[in-house]
Amino acid sequence: MEQQASSSDSHKIVALTPDDLPGFFDLMSEYAVSLGGSGGSPQLSNTMDGLRQALFDDPPQFEAIMALQDDQPAGLVCWSEAYHIMTGRKTMDIKHLYIRSSARQQSLALSMLSHILKLAEARDYWRVEGEVGGWNTPVQMLFSLLNAERLDHIRFRLQGPGAFLRNRRAEGR
């Protein structure tokens, strides 16, 4: 199913295309450096060609959206699909969520996750899970704001993404 773009006055969220790969690669590189701690040691050993292959081969190894502000890359969410054997239903496993520091004061992360939840509902995913580094309190707080179940010190689960979206609409958000 094709991902639809969404936008607000301050940003636009788009499904990744091959043309977006240089901006996506820059964001991933920046994210990798941020994970390196105070030493700033990059942890991204993948290449742009490796990411291109993983994203656009059939089937893709993972999927991604990118947030743009003023047509410049500002954030990303990467995920893969999994199959829950006991229920026979698909799940979405968020692998990375990153927002450039210049865009973190805005509601961009919530917009990106809402976009992901709409996509999960459209694809009839049973649940959405995400892994958040123990040090990443802002993203942990975001998952808590979404009423995600905390599975352990780094994993969060949103059961029934469609129900969550309907509740947010009823609350006028």
Give pLDDT, residue 31. Answer: 87
Whether the upstream peptide bond of residue 59 has omega within 30° of 0, thus cis, is yes
Burial readout 146-160 (b: 16 or more C-beta within 10 A, e: otherwise): bebeeeeeeebebeb
Mean pLDDT by 10 residues, the chain (173 residues): 58 94 93 69 81 95 95 94 90 91 82 90 89 79 82 82 58 56
pLDDT at site 165: 58
The pLDDT value recorded for residue 130 is 87
Which of the following CATH numbers is that of domain 11-170: 3.40.50.1360, 2.60.220.10, 1.10.760.10, 3.40.630.30?
A: 3.40.630.30
Strands 155-159 and 149-150: antiparallel
State the pTM of this model: 0.82
pLDDT computed for residue 1 by the predictor: 40
DSSP symbols for 99-124 = E-GGGTTSTHHHHHHHHHHHHHHHTT
Rounded distance between C-alpha atoms, residue 52 and residue 50, angstroms: 5
